[in-house]
Amino acid sequence: MSRYWSPLVHRLSPYVPGEQPRMPNLVKLNTNENPYGPSPRALAAISAAVNDGLRLYPDPTGMQLRQAVADYYGLTPAQVFVGNGSDEVLAHVFLGLFQHPAPLLFPDITYSFYPVYCGLYGIDYQTVPLSDEFELRVADYLQRNAGIIFANPNAPTGRLLPLAEIEWLLQRNTESVVVVDEAYVDFGGASAVALVDRYPNLLVVQTLSKSRSLAGLRVGFALGQPELIQALERVKDSFNSYPLDRLALVGAVAAMEDREHFERTRRAVMDSRAALCRELEQLGFHMPPSAANFIFASHPQRDAAELAAALRARGIIVRHFRLPRIDQHLRITIGTPEQNAALLAALGEILA
Ligand SMILES: *Cc1c(COP(=O)(O)O)cnc(C)c1O
């Protein structure tokens, strides 16, 4: 607290990111990073751009990247917005599309950054409970609102909402924007991008942090009709004209173009997920079906916080949320087969 702070800053309750400890040989399964490296073509493009060109500002419109994303999804660059990680894209979404005189709606269990943006921008919100099995029931969202946002697959549950349900909601909620945060969609979901041309109030947000293994580069994007994209551009150009630097732009373009690396690594994660789920079930864990690069597991006989502490003592970190309804669950990122084996061996020891 300080008398120099703006009053708003006193009232903020900032997001707490998963820790990034600097410990050697750590099995780091706590922040849903991809265990496989980024595309070698992306790394080569970044290296090639480390030169005298860095004295120049980057393209403020990010046009080459918007074109690469548009090409990947069969859209036009006017339907693509790019930003410094999808967290920044989401921040612009909250400011640019959700400040209306009605509450914003999102699930009671979802990405914990959403209420933080509401606090920053003074947006009123109401959470909508998921079912006991953590399912999102779209009918619960048919009420007056300033907008609707949810992650699909959801975080931290991993559960996927079928595309038909999203379309059902879009057909009935026509007066506000519906944002689908698809940070994990490449690990087993069908993207709502397929609906963008038919629904002017649909915005899909994605990131290169998870499925393209570039969390350190900070690149995210939004897909929607030009009317929505223009709102995000207006906010961006009132905040920072150059959110993506030259290295991020060229690296992201190359990553979007390297489909072979993308397909191979996401397939490896999905295959490991299936194996890991089977093994965790044999150890007595329960988990909802995951379409993401993590699983959300609970053990009927063991306290989740104690399990997390026991894993940490063995050099393995997973995420535990001290929050209502989910404080007996662990969110475990899918690692390499070796990391997953280390996790299973440690859990076998702890549970024995
Ligand atoms: C990881 C994540 C993001 C943020 O991704 P960045 O692009 O790294 O900012 C957004 N939404 C959800 C649900 C996430 O899990």
* Banded model confidence at residue 83, pLDDT cuts 50, 70, 90: very high
Same domain, 165 and 196: yes
SS3 261: helix
Same domain, 145 and 62: yes
Please state the domain count of the chain.
2
Residue whose CA is at the smallest distance from ligand 1 atom 2: 183
Tell me how far apart the alpha carbons of residues 277 and 271 are, in angstroms, rounded to a whole number: 10
DSSP lists the bridge partners of residue 299 as 302
Q: At what angle are helices 337-351 and 304-313 packed, to 10 degrees?
A: 120
Please give the structure tokens belonging to residue 59.
């393209």
Tell me how far apart the alpha carbons of residues 222 and 56 are, in angstroms, rounded to a whole number: 26
Q: Is 281 domain-assigned?
A: yes
* Banded model confidence at residue 25, pLDDT cuts 50, 70, 90: confident
Mean pLDDT, the chain, as a whole number?
A: 97
Pocket test for ligand 1, best of 94, 106, 111 (most atoms within 8 A of CB): 111
Q: Is 58 domain-assigned?
A: yes
- CB of residue 156 inside a 6 A radius of ligand 1: no
Tell me how far apart the alpha carbons of residues 160 and 336 are, in angstroms, rounded to a whole number: 23
**Atom number in ligand 1 closest to CA 151:** 13
Q: Is 94 domain-assigned?
A: yes
DSSP lists the bridge partners of residue 206 as 221
**Atom number in ligand 1 closest to CA 219:** 7
pLDDT, mean of residues 319-341? 96
Indicate which CATH number applies to the domain containing 190: 3.40.640.10
Q: Is 290 exposed, middle or buried (0-12, 13-18, 19+ CB in 10 A)?
A: buried
Pocket test for ligand 1, best of 88, 207, 296 (most atoms within 8 A of CB): 207
Same domain, 305 and 273: yes
* pLDDT (tens digit per residue) in 188-234: 999 999 999 999 999 999 999 999 999 999 999 999 999 999 999 99
* pLDDT (tens digit per residue) in 149-187: 999 999 999 999 999 999 999 999 999 999 999 999 999
Same domain, 281 and 144: no
Same domain, 58 and 115: yes
Domain boundary among 240, 258, 276: 258
Domain boundary among 208, 224, 258: 258
In percent, the amount of the chain with pLDDT more than 90 equals: 97
Q: How many CA atoms are closer than 13 Å to the CA of 326, on its beta-carbon side?
A: 26
Same domain, 55 and 127: yes
Same domain, 47 and 179: yes
Q: Is 144 exposed, middle or buried (0-12, 13-18, 19+ CB in 10 A)?
A: exposed
- CB of residue 209 inside a 6 A radius of ligand 1: yes
The range of the structural domain enclosing residue 337 comes to: 7-37+260-351
Same domain, 228 and 271: no
Same domain, 46 and 117: yes
Q: Is 2 domain-assigned?
A: no
Same domain, 248 and 304: no
What is the DSSP track for 190-229? PPGGGGTTT-TTEEEEEESSSTTS-TTT--EEEEE-HHHH
Same domain, 117 and 247: yes
Same domain, 319 and 208: no
Q: What is the pLDDT of residue 19?
A: 81
- CB of residue 220 inside a 6 A radius of ligand 1: yes
Domain boundary among 225, 258, 291: 258
Q: Is 171 domain-assigned?
A: yes
Tell me how far apart the alpha carbons of residues 51 and 68 are, in angstroms, rounded to a whole number: 23
Tell me how far apart the alpha carbons of residues 345 and 350 are, in angstroms, rounded to a whole number: 9
Please give the structure tokens belonging to residue 126.
């109401």
